[in-house]
Amino acid sequence: DTEVTQTPKHLVMGMTNKKSLKCEQHMGHRAMYWYKQKAKKPPELMFVYSYEKLSINESVPSRFSPECPNSSLLNLHLHALQPEDSALYLCASSQTPGTAGGELFFGEGSRLTVL
């Protein structure tokens, strides 16, 4: 199994809603990542979890709250978002933390629209 599975694929939410994005991998990878990608732009790193601990937060606003319940799961909790937060949110994993770990395996993303 070489997949990273993201749910939901599409999400529409109001600015007062609370929702969560979920990511799952069963490759035994020990690093997991959240990236944000706006239309026609490259992915931008948001968070990195290494061995289930948050190792990088790229100064992301607190309305985005990551969680790593175990080595296979990664959540992104969303609250009080703004319309400019509308984007494709990509989850990725790698065998070991750091780019020396080699390939990042990406999910297909969750497309978020904030009204």
Partner 1 sequence: AQSVTQPDIHITVSEGASLELRCNYSYGATPYLFWYVQSPGQGLQLLLKYFSGDTLVQGIKGFEAEFKRSQSSFNLRKPSVHWSDAAEYFCAVGGFGNEKLTFGTGTRLTIIP
Which residues are at the interface with partner 1 (CB under 8 A)?
Answer: 4, 31, 40-45, 48, 50, 55-56, 58, 90, 92, 97-100, 102-104, 106-109, 111
Closest CA to 89 of 22, 40, 24, 29: 22
The CB-of-16 to partner 1 minimum distance in angstroms stands at: 28
Q: Which two tokens stand for residue 25?
A: 């991998």
The CB-of-95 to partner 1 minimum distance in angstroms stands at: 13
Nearer to partner 1, 31 or 87 (CB): 31
The CB-of-85 to partner 1 minimum distance in angstroms stands at: 19
Q: Classify burial at 36, counting beta carbons within 10 Å of its beta carbon; exposed 0-12, middle 13-18, buried 19 or more.
A: buried
CA distance 68 to 82: 24
